[in-house]
Structure 1
Amino acid sequence: MSQNNPYVNNPYAGGGAPQYPNYQPPQPQYYAAPSSKWNAMSIAGFVCSFFFSLIGLILSIIGYSQTKKTGERGGDFALAGIIISAVSLVMSILAIILLFVLFGTVITAAVAL
């Protein structure tokens, strides 16, 4: 009787799920979690950039390169430390030049009197 029944081998007639040969379900994608470790050199460079510009610049550059190599957190702090240190150094150099020019002018004016 099963030979004449059209629903026995028909996969769409409720006889179960169709069978596909060599079917592998897709594997989930796993990504590396970002490192939760902070780079101490970049944080130290950021803090030093407010008080000691040259030291802050050096530490921030080292910290920035380390964060790029290791994938640690703190690259933004290092970049901010580089910018703050560079601006502070440029302003300090300009202030020193301005002081020399002003004192040079005052001293020449005082000698001329």
Structure 2
Amino acid sequence: MTDPNTPDPNASNVPPPPPAPPAQPAPSYGATPSYGAPATQKTNVLAIVSLVSAFFISLVAIITGHIALNQIKKTGEQGRGLAIAGLVIGYIGLVVGIIFAIVWFAIIGAAISSGTVTTY
């Protein structure tokens, strides 16, 4: 017979795990959580219009970009980077368009003055 006071050689010396913490009750529908969702600020619409129109009509991008920057300064909305990007791309497009028009008219003028093109 074995003595009940002698430790079992097959048993480990690990203490039992602590009791699990009580489970949190599931929130019911319609209940507000104890934390607030971060407030999302809206992006200025004219800043978006400025960036999008910069690829098509540079003058519209420049005008809406300046208006958007003015509104963003007053209201604190998001979109300052979009408005600046629209302005930069718009100004670059406007300068490239003006250079293209000057070169185009110079070529047409040179062709007319050399007699290559006849006018009626």
| TM-score (norm: length of structure 2) | 0.61
Q: Percent identity?
A: 35
Q: How far is 1:68 from its partner? A: 1.3
Of the three residues 28, 32, 54, the one matched with 2:59 is 54
1:56-97 deviations in Å (ceiling 9; x for gaps): 111111011111111110000000000000010011011000
Q: 1-side partners of 2:47 and 2:70: how far apart?
A: 9
- Cα root mean square deviation, aligned: 1.8
User: What SS does the aligned partner of 1:92 have?
Assistant: helix
Matching of residues 34-49 of structure 1 within 5 Å: 36-49=41-54
Following TM superposition, by how much is the alpha carbon of 1:45 offset from its aligned partner in structure 2, in angstroms? Answer: 1.0
Q: Does 1:97 align with 2:93?
A: no
**SS of the counterpart of 1:50?**
coil
Structure 1 gap ranges (5+): 1-32
Please list every run of at least 4 consecutive aligned residues from structure 1 whose deviation after the TM superposition is greater than 3 angstroms. none
Count of aligned pairs: 79
Q: Deviations over 1:11-64 (max 9, x none)?
A: xxxxxxxxxxxxxxxxxxxxxx98611101111111111111111111111011
Aligned equivalents of 1:85, 1:70: Cα separation in 2: 24
Separation of aligned partners in 1, 2:97 and 2:104? 11
Question: Is the partner of 2:114 in helix, strand or coil?
Answer: helix
Structure 2 unaligned spans of 5+: 1-37
Counterpart Cα distance in 1 of 2:86 and 2:39: 22
